[in-house]
Amino acid sequence: MSEEFKNAGCSASDCSSCCESCGSGQNQIPNTISLTLDDNTEVECAILTIFPLKEKEYIALLPLDENGQNQDGEVYLYVFSRTEQGDPMLANIESDEEYASAAEAFNSILENARRAEEHGEYTEEKGESLE
């Protein structure tokens, strides 16, 4: 698997996934990634979030169709790290147990974001929106 991060523009509701120099001062990463799967299929994915769990970080990706949409709600989870040069690097999650833990943590992030939005508690400073 290989990956290429791309900038799809700045979204004011999610500065953590912005690669533009918008002056927000927050972490700047692009908000899409192009994955080349083992069968050489290329899939454009939206970056939903990067989150820590135990000693690792994970990335949640939403695969997009040719129209930039996701019809089935499927999410890809990978181990996320950076090379010594700071370049992003993805790795497959090797065990079912580790995948279950990462999926549970991601589901908690989603639930917390939904709950915060329902109760009007969303703030950009908290970064709880996954839009």
User: pLDDT tens across 91-125, in order?
Assistant: 999 999 999 999 999 999 999 989 988 887 655 44
Report the distance separating Cα 81 and Cα 117, nearest Å: 29
* Structural domains in the chain (count): 1
Q: Pick the more confident residue, 121 or 50.
A: 50
Determine the residue type at 15: C
Is the confidence at residue 8, as pLDDT, over 50?
Answer: no
Least confident window among 51-60, 65-74, 100-109 = 65-74
Question: What's the pLDDT at 7?
Answer: 40
Alpha helices in the chain (DSSP H): 96-118
In a domain, residue 127? The reply is no
Note down the domain range covering 109: 2-118
pLDDT of residue 120: 78
Q: Could you write out the DSSP letters of every residue in 56-86?
A: EEEEEEEEE-TTS--SS---EEEEEEE-TT-
23 located within any domain: yes
Is residue 129 domain-resident?
A: no
pLDDT at 43: 92
Report DSSP state, residue 43.
E
Q: What is the DSSP letter of 126?
A: T
Tell whether 91 is covered by a domain: yes
Residue 29: inside a domain = yes
Asked, for residue 33, whether it belongs to a domain, the answer is: yes
Residue 71, domain member (yes or no): yes
Domain assignment present for residue 130? The answer is no
